[in-house]
Amino acid sequence: MAFDIEMIKKVYASMPARIEAARKLVNKPLTLTEKILYSHLWDGNATTAFERGKSYVDFAPDRVAMQDATAQMALLQFMQAGRPKVAVPSTVHCDHLITAQVGSAQDLNVAEVTNKEVYDFLSSVSNKYGLGFWKPGAGIIHQVVLENYAFPGGMMIGTDSHTVNAGGLGMIAIGVGGADACDVMAGLPWELKFPKLIGVKLTGKLSGWTAPKDVILKVAGILTVKGGTGCIVEYFGEGVTSMSCTGKGTIANMGAEIGATTSTFGYDESMERYLRSTDRAEVADLANGIKQHLTADPEVYANPELYFDQVIEINLDELEPHLNGPFTPDLATPISKMKEEAAKHGWPTKIEVGLIGSCTNSSYEDISRAASLAKQVADKDLKTKAEFTITPGSEQVRYTIERDGFLETFDKIGAKVFANACGPCIGMWARVGAEKAEKNTIVHSFNRNFAKRADGNPNTFAFVGSPELVTALAIAGDLTFNPTTDFLTNEKGEKVKLDAPSGDELPVKGFAVEDAGYQAPAADGSGVEVAVSPTSDRLQILAPFAAWEGTNLTGLKLLIKAKGKCTTDHISMAGPWLKFRGHLDNISNNMLIGAVNFFNDKTDNVKNQLTGEYGPVPATQRAYKAAGIGSIVVGDENYGEGSSREHAAMEPRHLGVRVVLVKSFARIHETNLKKQGMLGVTFANPADYDKIQEDDTVDVLGLTEFAPSKQLTIVFNHKDGSKDEILVNHTYNEQQIEWFKAGGALNIIRKQVAN
């Protein structure tokens, strides 16, 4: 069934004229990215040619998607906006709160009991305000969106950084914080700085052991975790058109790991096949009617260097399978080089667990190709040396792969099937023995591999690869095994070689499912009650943040000077903390507990300037708040990398942090800070980071003349009576300055509705 078909018809009806208006205005051929952006302007047809990387633009996204962990805070904010119903099609997906431990059925049953209060809240809010609700077990948000809602040429936002997955079906799909989602659901424009464009030309064709995942692993190695910041990546070339739609989804999905705003692909036959296979023939027919508008103008791909800010070319005929990691998704190693790299760095080579699935790699094609390798275990008298797990992306995929015998094949090699949920990919994995913090190696087909990410063990070396490579490595149990060249010794003592994986792009018998897990909203939700207990430790009605005092900020204490990588996992951990995602005060007890303190190289251990004692970061900040003293957080490069979780911005705001000063920000986190009324600034001279001392008291000057592009001054008053005065930059525009003054964007929305 095609959801929201009337909305899609409306988008396609206006698209040709809007694209033509934009083409005349910019006076050049357009990339696909530009076509989609210019056809989704809030004010209709383009009247301004926007400057990439500089112009702030108001857009009108077609839809909003939220997962259960982030939806709680997003919908608690939306409830304050005073709107009776969401203004655009919106959905909630229950995928983050299910712990992988025993197996799918039992883990799901435990989650439904443990999280009943949260699920009931999300179900009732969805019913009241007109959102589609996908129940626990229905699947991972991004796979469900790809199967049901994504459409070529559309624009959506989602409260998860991997919303970008829908780019595999030709969308501009962007991860945001809950406040951004609240704006769009409330019927307001959504603001984005017009992105720069990176073109990736794929020549040749994937074959053998190489998979779509290897494309993005290679790109991550080229661009690093921040090389795509402020950019949209557009893929094109013969290598793209020969690739499956879900393969494109994998590449788009993990584009979040290079900091890209999103990634996208032009509409082609693989997308049409996928739409028809997922019961959306009507969408395919509509797309076919305007297909020339759903890809770049021909001149763009003929001479990409004239139309993109950066062009990368990858020959798929020469591309090797890659493993990225450990501890960062951009450390790319071709499998042929892994043996020497592992020896050079002392990485543990015995693989303990191989995990496939997740929102990145859980398509029918992924599972079928992995199953072709699992089948060889029995056929070649082999024995799987590592534990092996599968996390299906949706109930539709799970039901279909069970029907087609793949789960039985995996069962024969001792695999464990987890629930259709995020599970180990986001730290919701009750891994036996992880608390011992032993040094070990795992391989997985997920997207992120930060320290502690999967199992909470800082000594788990996690490597990212394709499902095919992960399966082969789990069979071998050896990180240095190269399936393209190496042999294994079977149970008979014979040398055998794994055949290259094979599988079907789409199920020959079509997809099937008994209960997809969808709950449609009530036709009239006005009578639906949304109850939040005042004594709940899981949910808490939000109180508005205080407006800016109208003065400079003086007497701030340095809370922490974070050293090195500080992702949103470091600022607001997931795993067991997910249960507090709807309770701001409780989850604030994890604020910055993963960040490394520059002054002692410890985590969750900072100096309380009021007592001189060292203690946990949240407790220290609560002491400052109780004393009526604000504070400042200092960070390194790409601060806030990773997940879109706005809790990483809301927790400091709630506990009284006033300023975040870093060398550079990741895009989503910087926006989240602005939305919550925080002051996020960057060093004009990054070397000034070294001037900050542990006992500093800090003044921020120039706020009374706060204006776009105008630098602010920060004074670090040292304990010995000396001081350092530095300049800092910011990217606030007029509207964002108003958010700061009002104490947050939501306070402005509330006023607008009241008026």
- Give the Cα separation of 398 and 641 in Å (integer): 31
Q: Which of 451, 440, 450, 426 is nearest to 477 (CA)?
A: 440
Q: Please, where are the H alpha helices in 27-148?
A: 32-38, 68-81, 104-114, 116-129, 141-148
Question: Of the candidates 158, 95, 92, which has an alpha carbon nearest to the alpha carbon of residue 131?
Answer: 92
Nearest-angstrom CA–CA distance, 364 and 35: 31
For all residues of the chain together, what is the average pLDDT?
A: 96
- The full DSSP string for 119-170 is HHHHHHHHHHHT-EEE-TTSB-HHHHHHHHT--TT-EEEESSGGGGGGGGGT
Q: Which of 448, 570, 667, 750 is catalytic?
A: 448
Sheet with 262-265, side-by-side order of all strands: 262-265, 231-236, 196-203, 310-315
pLDDT in tens, 101-111: 999 999 999 99
SS3 196: strand
The question of whether 502 is a catalytic residue gets the answer no
Interval 299-347: pLDDT, tens: 999 999 999 999 999 999 999 999 999 999 999 999 999 999 999 999 9
All structural domains of the chain, each given as residue ranges with its CATH number in brackets, are: 5-317 (3.30.499.10), 330-495 (3.30.499.10), 553-754 (3.20.19.10)
When pLDDT is averaged across residues 26-40 and rounded to a whole number, the result is 98
| Both tokens assigned to 93 | 């997906």
- Whole-number CA gyration radius for the chain: 25
Which of 4, 68, 160, 604 is catalytic? The answer is 160
At 527 the pLDDT is 92
Partnered with residue 172 across adjacent β-strands are 155
Calculate the dihedral angle through the C-alpha atoms of 180, 183, 184, 187, rounding to the nearest 10 degrees: -170
Alpha carbons within 13 angstroms on the beta-carbon side of residue 265 total 35
**pLDDT tens-place string over residues 236-266:** 999 999 999 999 999 999 999 999 999 999 9
Q: What's the pLDDT at 399?
A: 98
Strand, helix or coil for residue 92: strand
- How many C-beta atoms lie closer than 10 Å to residue 376's C-beta? 22
Q: Which pLDDT score, from 0 to 100, does residue 643 have? A: 79
Using DSSP's 3-state secondary structure scheme, residue 305 falls into helix
Clarify whether 398 is annotated catalytic.
no
Q: What are phi and psi of 413, to 5 degrees?
A: -100, 15
**pLDDT for the residue 495:** 97
Torsional sign, CA 547, 551, 557, 559: positive
**95 included as an active-site residue:** yes
Residue 308 has a CB neighbour count (10 Å cut-off) of: 25
Which among 4, 68, 95, 404 is annotated as catalytic?
95
What is the reported pLDDT for 753?
62
Distances (CA, A) of 216 to 142, 169, 206, 425: 17, 16, 13, 17
Q: In the prediction, which pLDDT does 644 show?
A: 75
Q: Does residue 678 register a pLDDT over 70?
A: yes
- Between CA 421 and CA 101 the distance in angstroms is 12
Q: Which amino acid makes up residue 111?
A: A
- Mean pLDDT in residue range 695-724: 97
Q: How many helices (H) and strands (E) does the chain have?
A: 25, 30
The pLDDT assigned to 82 comes to 81
Query: Has 669 been annotated as catalytic?
Result: no
pLDDT in tens, 181-201: 999 999 999 999 999 999 999
Average pLDDT over residues 615-626: 98
Does residue 755 have a pLDDT over 60? no
Pairing of strands 723-729, 679-683: antiparallel
The two structure tokens encoding residue 317 = 């005929």
* DSSP 8-state secondary structure symbol assigned to residue 54: T
Residue type, 164: V
Of 398, 453, 645, 658, which is the active-site residue? 645
Cβ atoms 165, 363 nearer than 8 A: no
pLDDT of residue 754: 58
Q: Is 431 a catalytic residue?
A: no
Q: Which residue has the tokens 């210019």?
A: 38
Strand residue runs (E) in 465-552: 488-489, 495-496, 518-519
CA atoms within 13 A on the CB side of 606: 36
What is the per-residue DSSP string for 399-438?
Answer: HHHHHTTHHHHHHHTT-EEPPSS-GGGGT-B--TTGGG--
Among 643, 647, 669, 750, which one carries the catalytic annotation?
A: 643
pLDDT at 731 over 70: yes
pLDDT tens digits along 143-172: 999 999 999 999 999 999 999 999 999 999
Tens digits of residue pLDDT in 705-715: 999 999 999 99
Q: Which residues pair with 717 in a beta bridge?
A: 697, 723
Q: Is 643 noted as a catalytic residue in this protein? A: yes
User: Which of 96, 444, 581, 653 is flagged as catalytic?
Assistant: 96
Residue 714 in contact with residue 679, Cβ under 8 Å?
no
- 685 φ, ψ to 5°? -120, 105
SS3 48: coil
> Rounded mean pLDDT of 629-636?
98
- The three-state secondary structure class of 207 is coil
Residues 452 and 588: their CA atoms lie apart, in Å, by 19
Residue 578 has pLDDT above 90, yes or no: no
Q: Would the pLDDT of 34 be above 70?
A: yes
332-361: burial string, b at 16+ Cβ within 10 Å, e else: bbbbebbbeebeeeebbbebbbbbbbbbbb
By C-alpha distance, which of 217, 227, 641, 259 is closest to 463? 217
User: Quick check: 384 pLDDT over 90?
Assistant: yes
Q: What is the pTM of this model?
A: 0.89
Interacting residues of 346 by C-beta distance below 8 A, sequence separation 6+: none
Q: Please report, rounded to a whole number, the percentage of residues in the chain having pLDDT higher than 90.
A: 93
